Amino acid sequence: MSEIVTLLATWSAALLEAIGVAVMTLIAVYALGHAVVRLLRREDSDAVFRDVRQRVGKGILLGLEFLIAADIIHIIAIEWTLEAIGVLAIIVLIRAFLSFTLELELNGRWPWQRADG
């Protein structure tokens, strides 16, 4: 039974990693393509730039969530050692820091702050 769980966890983690990378890549490509179309229509370049930053930033945030889930599954189900848990903690802290700073950069407020305040 343990081999089945390990195999399932390995495939699940790999799938989530692939989804995370694909989400970031596809959203970035879409944002750039959308920006090129808007620039060809002679829209305001500053507005287009802000829109691309918003879209790519949100894509990175979403992709990071998938990557964090993959790391958690991998460490908890496959590589349950004190060293691996320490590495996971550092990875989650770094990615959480990136998520928080991207949220601040994109929305001008921390995730726990209300939009109207």
Segment 105-116, tens digit of pLDDT: 777 777 677 766
Q: Is residue 7 part of a domain?
A: yes
Q: Give the whole-angstrom CA distance, residue 17 versus residue 35.
A: 27
The per-residue pLDDT for 81 is: 83
pLDDT for the residue 116: 65
Q: Is residue 58 part of a domain?
A: yes
Q: Is residue 103 part of a domain?
A: yes
- Express as a percent the part of the chain with pLDDT over 90: 40
E strand or H helix at 26: helix 2-40
Q: Judge whether 116 lies within some domain.
A: no
64 near 99, Cβ under 8 Å? yes
* Domain presence at residue 90: yes
In a domain, 59, yes or no: yes
- Which pTM value belongs to this model? 0.77
pLDDT, tens only, 59-101:
988 998 899 899 888 888 877 788 888 888 898 888 788 878 8
**25: containing domain:** 2-107
Question: Average of pLDDT values for 15-19?
Answer: 97
**Count of domains for the chain:** 1
What average pLDDT does range 17-33 have in this prediction?
A: 97
Measure the CA–CA gap between 34 and 54, rounded to whole angstroms.
Answer: 12
Q: Is residue 112 part of a domain?
A: no
Residue 26 lies in a domain: yes
